[in-house]
Structure 1
Amino acid sequence: MSQSSAPDAITTLDNCDREPIHIPGSIQNHGTLIAVDREGVVRYVGANVQALLHCAVKVGERLSESQGEACPAIAALLHDGVLALRGERDVPMPGELQVAERQFDVVLHVGSAMLLAEFELRHQTHGELAGFAIQAHRAMEKLRRPRAIDELLQLATEELRALTGFDRVMAYRFRHDNSGEVAAESRIDALDPYLGRRYPASDIPAQARRLYVANTLRLIADVRSPAVALLQEAGAPPLDLSGSILRSVSPIHIEYLSNMGVGASMSVSIVINEQLWGLIACHHMGPRQVPYSVRMACDVIAQVLSANIQSTLARSQADRLQQLAAARTHLIEALLHADEEFTALIQHAPEMAAIFQADAALVAHGAKLAVFGGLSEPAGNAIVQWLAAEPPAQTRQRLLQTQSLPLLAPGLAAVASPWCGLLGIPFDRDRNGWLIFLRKEQIETIHWGGKPDKDIRPGPLGPRLTPRGSFDLWKETVRSTAEHWSALELNAAGQLMDEIVRVQNARTAEMNRTRNQLMAVLGHDLRDPLHSISMAARVLERGGTDGGRAGKIGQRIQSSSSRMQRLVSQVMDMSRLQSGLGLDLQRTDVDLVALLNDLIDEARTAHPGTEIVGTLPAVLSAQVDADRIAQVVVNLIGNARHHGQTGHPIELQAISTGEWHEIAVRNVASPIANDIVRNLFSPFKASSAGNARNRSGMGLGLYIANQIVQGHGGSIGYDYRSPHVVFLVRLPVHRPGTIGA
């Protein structure tokens, strides 16, 4: 048998937040503990069991009547508990035990495949405890009534202090950063008020928070009393005391309470939705042991309080959710009927900003920007430019949210002041489309209960964290932050983004269906009349007798009809591609050099003012669809003529690298802008509209050319080699899937 000792009491900088407070290896000295296994064999026992219970309990043995006068009663209690441990009955309710002149409250609970029996000394008589029950019932009745949350907390502190007799009872409400603020307080006049003071999250480490949820009431009867060791067999693991009422206290917490001048404490958890929402902390300047039955009444009072707070919060959240849902519905309806997102968003941005409790909003899409609520246009532009400039990784997340924009983007601090809170909903990342809500800086003076930083002091095993020695009021002014975005608001923003995306997808699908139908109609119904117009133009061109005027009219008609036929062909190709039919390539053995020479001659004839220089080898044999490759080259020559600088030749070169045939079309021009390059081979590009030298362009040519080349197993790409814009087509020497001779 060995004495179980608590884990090393020297908590270092590395393990402070991982201190195993659930297995201290000891208990408080106002009671004792016996833990038995499924066979009733004692595995752990408090070192003070003989002194308190007058029963010689030994580790590794069962209890017998010969071990002491109280042993039969204890053995009977343990027998019922062992049956519960085996699953043969429910765990017995708390009871009592008389040992000589002493009364004990007996609490049994099951944990870690062990039955734990705890015996806590009781100092009050049955008559005294009966009065507590009536008082507790009245407190519960008061706390059941609907009230504001702050009023409920204040009432709870007053009722618990009257019930327990503690010198001070405080109600903490935890904030989003896990710091706790004293929202209500009841105290004796001799103590300084703590109402309104805040305590840092580090005062309650993560492992302590978990225990506050699992075991909602905790009593430390005498901060300065020595702990009692648990005895156990050598090599046995420490006993898990997570659910124990007698678990001893972390040395760090003892030091913390001592620095506050506290002699005893009790905490009761306010748990909402299985989360630690708040805490009722009771302090006494000297030792104070609250009877177990009174503590259980306090626990029930806290549950009534938690239920009432949860109902109040649920009603408030339901109201906000209803407001958010209604505003979202209005916006989505507008989006469904609007021609574009930007128009609908700017109409509803002020309403959405109010619902999200934002001070301002902005809507950006491409080069368009609208600001609302006192946000200046320069500040809005600066934010949009920052979003477009590939800033930190936060902007690539589903939503962009921060309560401290100046810290996230220091370059915006001056121009975007006083805006610190930002909630951004991206609706078109490719064109920098954002719906953004903003909150102003909230300058806050925090009244801390002592300077929140822990002290670092040397100890026997090196540096150790110590609780702050002073809990006097310490003020801190916090700037460059705004009120944080709540989980409800973030969820609502995510739902709004999903709805916008669904609207966009539905609109895109409808536009694609309409576009494909239009393409099919244009391609089918216009091709035949255009062919007739072209034939009539040729007749006019050849048979005029009026000095050439009819011939000129015929040439103009021929040129216009040829251009219309090319457009119709592109529409037909686009329709096939978007319908998934492909371009139906007909491959044959083709000499690319002969094909390119013919295309150069045709271009020179059609545009005698344009100089075209060909640099070609003697022969380039390939298996390709000659008409489709001609379509690619004609498109590239046409683009070079439309976009190149006048007075400079268009260069067409072709070479073979062994594995690839490469066809390059060059023209002198400025480099293409990066934002255009990203969508260069996409259909219906915005950059294709408004070109004075190619007014009939629809942005389909390069898209179709790319599809043709890819269909041949090749690639087409853009490069700028000053002063030339270069488009390079690479075609495989041999058809993919075949082996050359």
Structure 2
Amino acid sequence: MKSSSIVPMSAAPLVDLQSCADEPIHIPGFIQPHGFLLFFGSDGMLEGWSANLPGELSSLQAGAHFSALPLPAAAADLVGECVAGLDDGETAPAFAAIELGPIHYDCIVHATRGRVIAEFESRAEAADTVALFAVKAHSSIERVRRQKNVDSLLETAVRQVREFTGFDRVMAYRFREDDSGDVVAEARRDDLVPYVGQRYPAGDIPAQARRMYVLTTLRMIATTGYQPVPLLGAPGALPLDLSYSVLRSVSPIHVEYLQNMGVCASMSVSIVINGRLWGLLACHHMAPKQVPYSIRMAADVLAQVMASTIQSIEAQRDAEQVEQAARVRTSLVESLLIDEEPLDALAHHAEALQAVTGSHAMVCVHNGKVVSFGAIERATAEAVVRSLPTDGSDLLVRDKLGDWPVATRPELGKWVGMLGLPFDPPGGGWCLLLRTEQIEQVAWAGRPEKTVTHGPLGARLTPRGSFDAWHETVLGHAQAWQAPVQSHARLMLSELLRASNARRAQTESTRAQLLAMLGHDLRDPLHSINMAGTLLERGNNQPTLGKRIQSSSSRMQRLISQVLDMSRIDGGLGLGMQFEPIDLAALVEDMVDEMRHAYPTITYDYNAPDATLVRADAGRMSQVLSNLLSNSRHHGQIGHAIRVALKADAGWATLEVANNGTPIADEVEATLFNPFKRGALHNPRNRTGMGLGLYIVATIVREHAGDIAYRHEDGQVVFSVRLPLAAMEGADAT
């Protein structure tokens, strides 16, 4: 006879969907009826059992030592090993196949919270049949292990699991960041409605159930129509934690959910990666079905192999993305440190930045100047810029239309996703990566809303009864900026800020240099003018004084003009171009003739071509040519001609100015079009130059939608300027 001190243990209260998130599903107080359970204290003394003990164990007494119980030797050995091996109240499950009377059992013993739990799960299949299934399972594991991408891995897994378990349907879920799940692969009986492609809301798996899926990676329900068997224990005993139990009774909410789907038996196998529920293999059968423990463990091992393989595939993909992003960051920062204009550096890397972030367009702004890349309208780009916060200093993430200021939304069109990098807050510098709206047709597995209805547990919120696909069109959402992309963007932002700060510090340093240089370089011509004026005042007849005054005044004018131009460029004002059609050939010819008269000892080789029409500011283009000719005069080898050439080809006008000379040093070439290079060049024939000429020339050419380049060829230093012909106005460079 059983001890009269044994009573039903406390169980979890009945719950509905309003309280299911708090349901203590790990201590249900019941087990499923296809087996029985004994539990012991850490000293091996029997504390309780399930109410469905077989007749062979009908005379159990609470407080008896496990060794005194009429258990098969294999089962007693497992309990003894578990008691002896308790480590902080826990042990891993151990398994043995036993017989008790005429019935075959799988005996599984484990310990949790200082209690040893022995479960005896009945098994209809003979051991040799189970062994054949185990061989099949091993083959399936090998097939899964060989897959090279996640999609094929999941497709292979559902087919293999269905083959060696015999379920009517096996589905692979993949969970999203919001914990909703998509059925991404399926193997099923031909007459069943397919579920692949459907999405299930996050509420289908409450938080505590999700925790259990991580703790216990395999769950079996032999039949949803079972009657739970209560656990019996001493009065007032703590509820038995069944977190790792194979017989644990499941929530009535979950049972009703499965019944609404027409499912009679189910098995779930968790795919856990880095402690997070990444996915799930869900197995459904339309009739009662019990899979032997060893076959279930094979499915569990397969899921672990899947998790490891998926983690390797994703780690390799992430490593490639990290490497690609690092290359783009390094190249961009190098360009920012070398190129004086941040927008030019960003423009040069626009395509790579869009590729590495998965964006469809890019908008950049600095000192009020806006440039865009990709198929985005100018008005939309300006609206995006107007929406930016004035005090932005951190990554700005917008995934959907609702993330934008209300006033901006009507102007956005399809551009609803944005990742904003404020790379130069003092200068209002932003790099904005944009994604278009992703209109998504979501096939929900039934309407995801919960409704009040009469279920088996009475009038309450109940799991939905229909799992026919319910389609919803999701508008105003872009593809969310994934965590790795945001992580790369933050690294990029950090490096861009450092580069901007370095450039700003350099600018402050050059301002100080500029003042010192102006003080020095203007002192000489002022002194000459002052001395000439004194001599004129005394009435001496000095014919060279007028020329000296004119020369000194010209030097001062040139220096002051360059400083004013740099000030306009540095302030983001531009150079105030006035574009009109001009004949570049005539302009060059006039400038060369002027130089021939001014410097009769220097030979200029130039053959004027036919009229070459461009849209340009004639004064600024004269300034470009004057600077290039001046450079050739100061840096070219004495006694050699300066070559000037102009040609038109494929929609572009190309102007070249060349002089004999040695190649420019690599370290100087890297900053050739930056200001303040006087210390780098050390040319005694140009002591008063401040290194602003080529910087201003490059800016003028850029504002004409052209480009400027240096090369050394056949013993000559060659500067070439390309400008679009008038018929090609606004065309992209090829």
State the TM-score, normalized to the length of structure 1: 0.66
Matches within 5 A, 1:251-400: 251-388=252-389, 398-400=394-396
Offset, 1:283: 0.2
Which of 36, 39, 45 is the equivalent residue of 1:35? 39
Q: Provide closer, same or farther for how the CA distance between residues 408 and 245 of structure 1 changes in structure 2, counting only shifts above 3 A.
A: farther
Which of 412, 415, 421 is the equivalent residue of 2:411? 415
Structure 2 distance, partners of 1:456, 1:430, is 57
Aligned to 1:96: 97
Offset, 1:483: 1.0
1:17 alignment partner AA: A
Unaligned 5+ runs, structure 2: 1-5, 540-734
Offset, 1:497: 0.6
Which of 2, 6, 12 is the equivalent residue of 1:7? 12
Which SS does the other structure have where 1:328 is aligned?
helix
Aligned to 2:27: 23
Structure 2 distance, partners of 1:265, 1:459, is 21
Aligned to 2:445: 449
Which of 405, 426, 434 is the equivalent residue of 2:401? 405
CA deviation profile, 1:4-41 (whole Å, cap 9, x unmatched):
2432212352x332222122122111122222222112
Structure 1 distance, partners of 2:321, 2:55, is 57
2:338 alignment partner AA: H
Asked whether the 8 Å contact 1:164–1:290 carries over to 2, the reply is yes
Structure 1 distance, partners of 2:256, 2:504, is 65
Asked whether the 8 Å contact 1:10–1:459 carries over to 2, the reply is no
Aligned to 1:51: 54
Aligned to 1:494: 490
Offset, 1:236: 2.9
Asked whether the 8 Å contact 1:12–1:463 carries over to 2, the reply is no
Aligned to 1:439: 435
Structure 2 distance, partners of 1:241, 1:401, is 43
Aligned to 1:124: 125
Which SS does the other structure have where 2:387 is aligned?
helix
Q: Provide closer, same or farther for how the CA distance between residues 194 and 303 of structure 1 changes in structure 2, counting only shifts above 3 A.
A: same
Structure 2 distance, partners of 1:104, 1:473, is 41
Confirm whether residue 472 of structure 1 aligns to residue 448 of structure 2: no
Q: Provide closer, same or farther for how the CA distance between residues 207 and 52 of structure 1 changes in structure 2, counting only shifts above 3 A.
A: farther
Q: Provide closer, same or farther for how the CA distance between residues 467 and 89 of structure 1 changes in structure 2, counting only shifts above 3 A.
A: closer
Matches within 5 A, 1:543-558: none
CA deviation profile, 1:48-89 (whole Å, cap 9, x unmatched):
2x3265254444443463x5x337765443222110115799
Which SS does the other structure have where 1:119 is aligned?
strand
Offset, 1:140: 1.5
Matches within 5 A, 1:100-249: 100-249=101-250
Structure 2 distance, partners of 1:158, 1:102, is 32
Q: Cα RMSD (Å) of the superposition?
A: 3.2
Offset, 1:185: 0.9
Structure 2 distance, partners of 1:258, 1:250, is 13
Offset, 1:484: 1.2
Aligned to 2:727: none
Offset, 1:498: 1.0
Matches within 5 A, 1:515-594: none
Asked whether the 8 Å contact 1:64–1:71 carries over to 2, the reply is no
Q: Provide closer, same or farther for how the CA distance between residues 310 and 92 of structure 1 changes in structure 2, counting only shifts above 3 A.
A: closer
Structure 2 distance, partners of 1:462, 1:191, is 30
2:434 alignment partner AA: L
Structure 2 distance, partners of 1:360, 1:440, is 9
Q: Provide closer, same or farther for how the CA distance between residues 377 and 87 of structure 1 changes in structure 2, counting only shifts above 3 A.
A: closer
Structure 2 distance, partners of 1:101, 1:149, is 46
1:271 alignment partner AA: V
Confirm whether residue 428 of structure 1 aligns to residue 419 of structure 2: no
Asked whether the 8 Å contact 2:91–2:111 carries over to 1, the reply is no
Offset, 1:410: 3.1
Offset, 1:345: 2.0
Asked whether the 8 Å contact 1:55–1:71 carries over to 2, the reply is no
Asked whether the 8 Å contact 2:366–2:427 carries over to 1, the reply is yes
1:7 alignment partner AA: A
Aligned to 1:507: 503
Structure 1 distance, partners of 2:220, 2:64, is 31
Asked whether the 8 Å contact 1:406–1:412 carries over to 2, the reply is no
Which SS does the other structure have where 2:155 is aligned?
helix
Asked whether the 8 Å contact 2:400–2:478 carries over to 1, the reply is yes
Q: Provide closer, same or farther for how the CA distance between residues 12 and 160 of structure 1 changes in structure 2, counting only shifts above 3 A.
A: closer
Q: Provide closer, same or farther for how the CA distance between residues 389 and 501 of structure 1 changes in structure 2, counting only shifts above 3 A.
A: closer
Structure 2 distance, partners of 1:129, 1:445, is 44
Asked whether the 8 Å contact 1:45–1:59 carries over to 2, the reply is no
Which SS does the other structure have where 1:9 is aligned?
coil
Offset, 1:306: 2.1
Which SS does the other structure have where 1:198 is aligned?
strand
Aligned to 1:588: none
State the TM-score, normalized to the length of structure 2: 0.66
CA deviation profile, 1:623-659 (whole Å, cap 9, x unmatched):
xxxxxxxxxxxxxxxxxxxxxxxxxxxxxxxxxxxxx
Structure 1 distance, partners of 2:494, 2:127, is 62
Structure 1 distance, partners of 2:325, 2:55, is 62
Structure 2 distance, partners of 1:314, 1:92, is 31
Which stretch shifts more, 474-483 or 176-185? 176-185
1:178 alignment partner AA: D
Asked whether the 8 Å contact 1:54–1:99 carries over to 2, the reply is no
Which SS does the other structure have where 1:244 is aligned?
coil
1:11 alignment partner AA: D
Structure 2 distance, partners of 1:237, 1:9, is 19
Asked whether the 8 Å contact 1:263–1:283 carries over to 2, the reply is yes
Which SS does the other structure have where 1:77 is aligned?
helix
Offset, 1:520: 8.9
Offset, 1:512: 5.3
Which SS does the other structure have where 1:93 is aligned?
strand
2:280 alignment partner AA: L
Which stretch shifts more, 350-359 or 483-492? 350-359
CA deviation profile, 1:548-592 (whole Å, cap 9, x unmatched):
xxxxxxxxxxxxxxxxxxxxxxxxxxxxxxxxxxxxxxxxxxxxx
Offset, 1:338: 2.2
Structure 1 distance, partners of 2:439, 2:317, is 26
Offset, 1:299: 1.0
1:8 alignment partner AA: P
Aligned to 1:712: none
Asked whether the 8 Å contact 1:272–1:306 carries over to 2, the reply is yes
2:365 alignment partner AA: A
Q: Provide closer, same or farther for how the CA distance between residues 429 and 56 of structure 1 changes in structure 2, counting only shifts above 3 A.
A: farther
User: What percent of counterpart residues are identical?
Assistant: 44
CA deviation profile, 1:697-741 (whole Å, cap 9, x unmatched):
xxxxxxxxxxxxxxxxxxxxxxxxxxxxxxxxxxxxxxxxxxxxx
Asked whether the 8 Å contact 1:360–1:438 carries over to 2, the reply is yes
Structure 2 distance, partners of 1:278, 1:265, is 16
1:454 alignment partner AA: K
Structure 2 distance, partners of 1:472, 1:313, is 33
Offset, 1:165: 0.9
Asked whether the 8 Å contact 1:172–1:182 carries over to 2, the reply is yes
Structure 1 distance, partners of 2:457, 2:134, is 49
2:410 alignment partner AA: A
CA deviation profile, 1:479-524 (whole Å, cap 9, x unmatched):
111111111111110110111122233334455566678889999x
Aligned to 1:70: 71
